[in-house]
Structure 1
Amino acid sequence: MSLLLAFRRWWAILFVAVLSLPAIGHFLPDLPAPMRTVVAPEARWWEEANKRMDPYLNNTFGFRGAVLAAHGAYVRFIGAPRGPSVLRGTDGSLFYTGDHALEQSVGQLLRPALVGEFVDWVISLKREIEPWGGRLVVVIAPNAQTIQFDHLPDYARRQMKRPTEYDLLDADLAKAGIAHADLRPPLLAAKAAGPVYWRFDTHWNQRGALIGFNAALAAVGRADLEINPDEALGPPEPRTDGDLVRLTGNGTTEPADVQYPVKPPVAVGAASLTPLPGITQARSPRFPFPPLAFETGHPGPRIMVIGDSFTYGLWKDYLAYRSSAFVWTHHLFCRGDPAPIARFKPEILIVAAAERLFPCPLKVPEWAESEVRR
């Protein structure tokens, strides 16, 4: 029986089309995907193709982003456990890879529309403080991958591209006339004198946090409020914990990490702070970042921070030391209620988001859904 019968011809065409999809996928737009861990075949791959060529093919097939996204959706649907989003650097440091942080830092992920939404949101906040002459500044805490780039695996460093989303934001804020402190240069420069990020934690350490705080004040025209690191930070101490260590299931770090404890007079005790009621609304018990609102009892400007975990605990002493009153509230991924701004009337409003979290997402995390103003 001839293979050229009509119904068999159609099946043959369909079969060839399906086989061609991976090749066609190399030239068509795709969804964002995790960083490729192999960017070239091994030398003399033809001698042991199954060993030397397969890792490369597993990283370069067409529609890779769509396939991996479908796999992730299926894993979530069936409730299967997911592996930790942690990458080990060349020096043993751990990097968080959730929220596409690695792809974002090396310029493999660009979302200009989401960056533009963030800028529009910041512009709306600036309008809120204009009636009383408040000043606004944006600071973005870089991913550890951005500052500790030299400790990333070779395959990640080789895929570095420009511009990055941080570059896009810097340019867009300048066009909009929004004050912005680019924290990459001062943090990179400060590395020569000691660590500015923890090796086994997602966040910067107390030293990096202080550099970010001082840069924000300088960018808003209040360099007189900057805090001298020698005045604020004690000598380095070992730290045997970290959120990335917990994420991997290990108990402690080895070798120990380094922290710089905040010391008096910058370390302000809770007893010296007076709560400011009626400024912010209470959060649900499952929300990890309840807002802060206090009077400090000494002179200084009224400072408000709209931030996330990079500033929640690490900036509290700095804010209390340099303000007469301060408020900290979570940015809720560009969806926060602006009403606390009008109630508090800050002289300085600092929008301080982590690099991986600043692009306004299409969907907020589950723990934030109940807090978003609808």
Structure 2
Amino acid sequence: MTQKTSTEANVQANPAGSAGSRAQRYKAVVVSVGFAILLILPTLDQWLNLSAGFKSTEKRILTPFPTFTFPRVQTFIAQFGLYYKENFGWRNALFYQYSQFKYKVLATSPLPEKVVMGKNGWFFPGNSVGQIVDQHRGIDIIRPDTLASIARNLSELQQQLAAQGAKLYVLVAPDSYTIYPENAPDNLQLKPQTSNFDRFKAYMAQHTNVPVVDVRDSLRAAKTERVIYCQTDTHWNDYGSMIASLGLAERVRQDFPKMPKPTRSDYSVTPFTGAGGDLVTMIALNREFIDSVSYKVTPAPYLRTRQTETTENIEVGLPTQRFVSKNSEAPKLLLIGDSFSFSMNQFIPGYFRETYIVRTHHFDRKLLSKERPNVVVLEIVERNIGMLGQL
């Protein structure tokens, strides 16, 4: 008779314990393999590009792979750490899933400091964009010394232009909070009674004679007829841009009567379904949300222009452009603007014989002697009014 070992005896005596031990070993193997896969997947993705279907939603250039230069080893390590943090495998796919969870399960913005989810399919820029939310809540009020600095800077520019026979105008592009406050979330508790725009406009009227072109009333009237701002983007749409351009041209024409008379009837408007804008793209919801309507706005033949120059502008990612029109008796325009001025390309140049548009946050005054414009327009979005003191 074969004698059983103590181990075999224990197994027969406690079969449940043996099964439990095997389950524990199996669980340990699964966890170990799964953990190893999680460690390997990011590297595999960088080699094989497995998550190519998920694109980066960031509005900036990600850190490139650093160049190793001996003996700067520590510098390379630091740069590589930053590169890997922004480019590791499955990063975009993970953010997409996170964004879907925040929106579909928690009904909140995945990046509330960058993007605010409003009502009726509207999205607004968050506080990381120039403290815009605090500005419209009446918390971040423009300082008196900032207003004084702006007034001095613009008055000096106006005097410089007057010496060469040119005039200065300031166009403020209203924030979407200003034009569509009813679509902002209720919890923001906006206080639209007196805005920084109002304070700036009043200060300029009291202390300078620099014309501030205020198109808010025109835009509010126009929004009763059509949607004039992008619902998923920070900007006005082409129709809103047309309304603002007409308002600007009308004000400048008071001083330069040989300009064509601005009128809406000179434009044909064709609506079409829009796309997802920069705000929803930033939070990877551009498939779920699109603008309900966009517009193709076509000027009358006599207002059409010819683009004669375009130069890449790395600072703001939008080109510097030159346009020439058929209106030879109209003045020459130099427009210094931001991204809101881009959609004005198709409208404003038609009212001037030549238009040079530079998108920048740093106005190079040498342009004045180089271009010799009759009209200089500074266009700036409402939330950045404070920057006019350093422009």
TM superposition score category, shorter chain reference: 0.5 to 0.7
C-alpha separation in 2, matches of 1:129 and 1:261 = 36
Partner of 1:303: 333
Taking structure 1 as reference, are residues 226 and 122 closer, same or farther at Cα in structure 2, changes over 3 Å only? farther
- Is the Cα–Cα contact under 8 Å of residues 207 and 233 in structure 1 kept in the other structure? no
- Is the Cα–Cα contact under 8 Å of residues 136 and 350 in structure 1 kept in the other structure? yes
- Is the Cα–Cα contact under 8 Å of residues 121 and 289 in structure 2 kept in the other structure? no
| Paired AA for residue 105 in structure 1 | H
Partner of 1:238: 273
Taking structure 1 as reference, are residues 103 and 250 closer, same or farther at Cα in structure 2, changes over 3 Å only? same
Q: Over aligned residues, Cα RMSD in angstroms? A: 3.1
Q: How many residues align?
A: 278
Taking structure 1 as reference, are residues 283 and 198 closer, same or farther at Cα in structure 2, changes over 3 Å only? closer
Partner of 2:377: 350
Larger Rg: 2
Cα deviations by residue, 1:278-336 (Å, 9 ceiling, x for unpaired): xxxx6664641232233335422211111100012x1112133222111111241xx32
Partner of 2:283: 248
Matched, 1:336 2:371: no
Shift of 1:111: 2.1
C-alpha separation in 2, matches of 1:192 and 1:96 = 23
Cα deviations by residue, 1:22-49 (Å, 9 ceiling, x for unpaired): xxxxxxxxxxxxxxxxxxxxxxxxxxxx
Aligned ranges 1:77-88 → 2 under 5 Å: 83=111, 85-88=114-117
Matched, 1:154 2:186: yes
Aligned ranges 1:91-102 → 2 under 5 Å: 91-97=120-126, 98-102=129-133
C-alpha separation in 1, matches of 2:344 and 2:301 = 11
Matched, 1:316 2:345: yes
**Paired residue for 2:202, among 168, 171, 179?**
171
Partner of 2:61: none
- Is the Cα–Cα contact under 8 Å of residues 181 and 190 in structure 2 kept in the other structure? no
TM superposition score normalised by structure 2: 0.63
Taking structure 1 as reference, are residues 189 and 269 closer, same or farther at Cα in structure 2, changes over 3 Å only? closer
C-alpha separation in 1, matches of 2:159 and 2:349 = 26
Shift of 1:253: 5.2
- Is the Cα–Cα contact under 8 Å of residues 307 and 321 in structure 2 kept in the other structure? no
SS of 1:140's partner is strand
Partner of 1:289: 318
Taking structure 1 as reference, are residues 121 and 293 closer, same or farther at Cα in structure 2, changes over 3 Å only? farther
TM superposition score normalised by structure 1: 0.66
Partner of 2:235: 203
| Paired AA for residue 295 in structure 1 | V
Partner of 1:12: none
- Is the Cα–Cα contact under 8 Å of residues 108 and 161 in structure 1 kept in the other structure? no
| Paired AA for residue 295 in structure 2 | Y
SS of 1:360's partner is helix
C-alpha separation in 2, matches of 1:207 and 1:326 = 21
Cα deviations by residue, 1:204-233 (Å, 9 ceiling, x for unpaired): 111211221122222231575343334224
- Is the Cα–Cα contact under 8 Å of residues 129 and 345 in structure 1 kept in the other structure? no
SS of 1:192's partner is coil
C-alpha separation in 1, matches of 2:386 and 2:301 = 33
Q: Structure 2: any 5+ residue segments left out of the alignment?
A: 1-81, 87-94, 96-109
Shift of 1:178: 1.1
Q: Percent identity?
A: 21
- Is the Cα–Cα contact under 8 Å of residues 200 and 253 in structure 1 kept in the other structure? no
Shift of 1:237: 1.2
Matched, 1:325 2:357: no
Partner of 2:309: 275
Q: Structure 1: any 5+ residue segments left out of the alignment?
A: 1-75, 277-281, 364-371
**Paired residue for 1:217, among 227, 238, 249?**
249
Shift of 1:135: 1.8
Shift of 1:241: 2.6
SS of 2:347's partner is helix
Partner of 2:105: none
C-alpha separation in 1, matches of 2:302 and 2:274 = 19
C-alpha separation in 1, matches of 2:235 and 2:295 = 14
C-alpha separation in 1, matches of 2:122 and 2:313 = 34
Matched, 1:181 2:213: yes
C-alpha separation in 2, matches of 1:239 and 1:205 = 10
Partner of 1:34: none
C-alpha separation in 2, matches of 1:245 and 1:318 = 27
- Is the Cα–Cα contact under 8 Å of residues 138 and 216 in structure 1 kept in the other structure? no
Shift of 1:269: 7.4
- Is the Cα–Cα contact under 8 Å of residues 180 and 219 in structure 1 kept in the other structure? no
